[in-house]
């Protein structure tokens, strides 16, 4: 999984603090659809800086896909699966599908929180700067993205 980020500052331990501006779900082309007012989200994290990038540089950061997909499964898919499974079982067994479905969803959220506290904290997702963003990638960025405030 790769994304383009801007180096914010450099740490002595070989890590760099980077900033990424996430677009909204509609890709941020508000001028094309009359502007929905969706807010952008700024994410700041650390990445291993093996290429010697300096503050202000646009770089490509990658992470392993497997831990990200596992987190997606736990945080998004599991609660929904437990909701529908609970709804079906509750409806078949007691005719209380909505109640048991909501309990299943709440159980899925509880499992996701437990997963985050136990497993995700022990094995956090690691990010590595793999290279500088090329001219083609720079042209694809819209003006004002990935800026440092």
pLDDT of residue 147 exceeding 60: no
Which 3 state secondary structure label does DSSP give 60?
strand
Cα–Cα distance for residue pair 25/142, rounded to 1 Å: 16
Which tokens is 8 given? 């914010």
pLDDT of residue 12 exceeding 60: yes
| Whether residues 99 and 50 fall in one domain | no
Q: Each residue of 27-69: pLDDT tens digit?
A: 555 556 655 666 678 999 999 999 999 999 999 999 988 888 9
Domain that includes residue 13, residue range: 2-63+126-140
Cα–Cα distance for residue pair 40/89, rounded to 1 Å: 40
Residue 147 in domain: no
> For 107-111, what is the mean pLDDT?
97
H/E element, 127: strand 127-132
| Whether residues 94 and 117 fall in one domain | yes
CATH code, domain carrying 38: 2.40.50
Which tokens is 61 given? 């950061």
With tokens 């950061």, the residue in question is: 61
Which tokens is 124 given? 């956090």
Its pTM stands at 0.64
Domain count, the chain: 2
């Amino acid at each position: 999984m790769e994304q383009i980020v801007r180096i914010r500052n450099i740490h002595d331990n070989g890590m760099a603090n980077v900033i990424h501006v996430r677009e909204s779900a509609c890709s941020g082309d508000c001028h094309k659809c009359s502007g929905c007012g969706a807010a952008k989200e700024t994410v700041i994290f650390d990445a291993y800086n093996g290429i010697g990038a300096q503050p202000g540089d646009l770089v490509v950061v990658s992470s392993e896909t497997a831990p990200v997909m596992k987190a997606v499964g736990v945080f998004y898919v599991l609660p929904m699966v437990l909701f529908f499974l609970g709804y079906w079982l509750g409806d078949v067994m007691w005719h209380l599908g909505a109640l048991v479905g909501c309990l299943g969803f709440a159980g899925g959220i509880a499992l996701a929180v437990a997963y985050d506290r136990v497993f995700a904290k022990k094995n956090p997702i690691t990010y590595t700067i793999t290279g500088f963003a090329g001219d083609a990638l720079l042209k694809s960025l819209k003006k004002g993205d990935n800026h440092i405030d």
